[in-house]
Amino acid sequence: MSLKSISIPRPDDWHLHLRDDSILAAVLPNTARIFGRAIVMPNLRPAVCTARAAVAYRSRIEALIPEGSNFTPLMTAYLTDATDPLELRAGWNDGIFSAAKLYPAGATTNAEDGITDILQLDNVFEMLQELSMPLLIHGETMNQQVDIFDREAVFIEDTLLPLRQRYPAMRIIFEHITTNEAVAFVEAADENVAATITPHHLMLNRNDIFKDGLRPHYYCLPVAKREHHRRSLRVAATSGNPKFFLGTDSAPHLTTDKESDCGCAGVYNAATAMSCYTQVFDEEQSLDKLAGFASHHGPDFYHLPRNTETITLTRAGTLEQPPDIDINGGKIRQFLPETPVHWHLIHEQPQ
Ligand code: NCD
Ligand code: ZN
């Protein structure tokens, strides 16, 4: 018998790009009306590297939270080759930083100031390990000789496994995983390692990026992989294993920046993510595991309380493509796969 509606504790988004200024103002309400909290990525220009910058960014976000929403932004520190571990400690102890973010230099949007040699960051890793402060990792090798579809798997061998050996007590979240190798790595690791999974990596494989022509709005990093990898991600997400939890990697870019000679990586999915995740769990006959993935495993890993409010989704007709978001004449395309999505967010508890 198939369910017609499902209520789960209000989910949190453990990997989110909100940007700044007019894009922040336009996209924040979509997240704030659905999710209780979000781990906010620090890849602004300039990047959010200090506690002071994080406080200022948090204030800009808080000023735009819609009335009636209890949304809480959780801030992250952007690691560079010059990060001072004492800055991390102060930001963590003051409750400003919830995690530190490691981008290999050049890995993705605004990652120019990221880490050039991960094995040279010992003072930072020692501090993170001592504080039990989570390290969020964009896990792709920056060796341009490596095929783009192999960069996550190579990163595990080259970097993650040695890092784990040297800092076994460091708490790591392997972000937006895309491969069977990443699933296997996380499953084999102890309780200090977890991973986030995006809706689009559960719904798209690499063929979808090229179906009937080039689909710039399905292009993100790490890029979607072969079908068998997508299958592994779906099994992991719906398994009930607390090491896997929700992180949308919602990453807005103007359509003009995506539909160009050198299009930006990033999928904007904040408004459609919960419908998409629920659709995937329904297809996998695992709706009973949705609350764990979306609402329990994340706060448990971060040692934060679970949300007590609920949201409800109902199964109905096919979700239609939501309109582009308008930004001073520019537009942001919202993610929806070509395969039908039947789950609609219908109800939010009064707050
Ligand atoms: C993200 C962005 O645009 O900031 N893009 C993406 O494709 N996911 C950066 C990131 O998380 O890699
Ligand atoms: Zn991201």
Q: Is 296 in the pocket of ligand 1 (CB under 6 A)?
A: no
- 316 CA to middle of ligand 1, Å? 32
* Average pLDDT of the chain to the nearest whole number: 96
Q: Are 255 and 330 in contact (CB under 8 A)?
A: yes
Residue pair 207/227 in contact (Cβ under 8 Å)? The answer is: yes
Q: What is the pLDDT of residue 349?
A: 46
Strand, helix or coil for residue 189: coil
pLDDT attached to residue 290: 98
Residues 6+ apart with CB under 8 A from 182: 139, 152, 153, 156, 174, 195
> Which ligand is closest to the CA of 248, given by its number?
2
Mutate which of 18, 48, 76, 109 to test ligand 1's pocket (most atoms within 8 Å of Cβ)?
109
Which residues are annotated as catalytic? 249
| Counted domains in the chain | 1
In this prediction, residue 190 has a pLDDT band, given cuts at 50, 70 and 90, of very high
Query: SS3 of 301, please?
Result: helix
Q: What is the pLDDT of residues 91-142, one digit of tens each?
A: 999 999 999 999 999 888 788 899 999 878 999 999 999 999 999 999 999 9
Band (pLDDT 50/70/90 cuts) for residue 1 is: low
Closest by Cα among 59, 69, 56, 57 to 30 = 69
CATH of the domain at 154: 3.20.20.140
Residue 222 in this model has a pLDDT that exceeds 80: yes
Nearest Cα residue to 45 out of 78, 74, 16 = 78
Number of residues that this document lists for the chain: 351
Cis amide bond preceding 11, omega within 30: no
Residue-wise DSSP of 206-241:
HHHHTTTS--GGG--SSPP--HHHHHHHHHHHTS--
Q: Which helix (H) or strand (E) holds 21?
A: helix 21-32
The atom of ligand 1 lying closest to the CA of 265 is 7
**Which residue's alpha carbon is nearest to atom 11 within ligand 1?**
249
Ligand closest in space to the Cα of 267: 1
Q: How far is the CA of 316 from the centre of ligand 2 (A)?
A: 31
Write out pLDDT tens, residues 233-261.
999 999 999 999 999 999 999 999 999 99
Span from the CA of 2 to the centroid of ligand 2 (angstroms): 34
Q: What is the pLDDT of residue 347?
A: 56
Classify residue 128 by burial, with Cβ atoms within 10 Å: 0-12, 13-18, 19+: buried
Beta-strand relationship, 172-174 and 97-102: unpaired
Top mutation candidate among 173, 249, 333 for ligand 1, by most atoms within 8 Å of CB:
249
Q: Which domain holds residue 52?
A: 5-347
pLDDT, average across residues 195-213: 98
Supply the pTM of this predicted model.
0.97
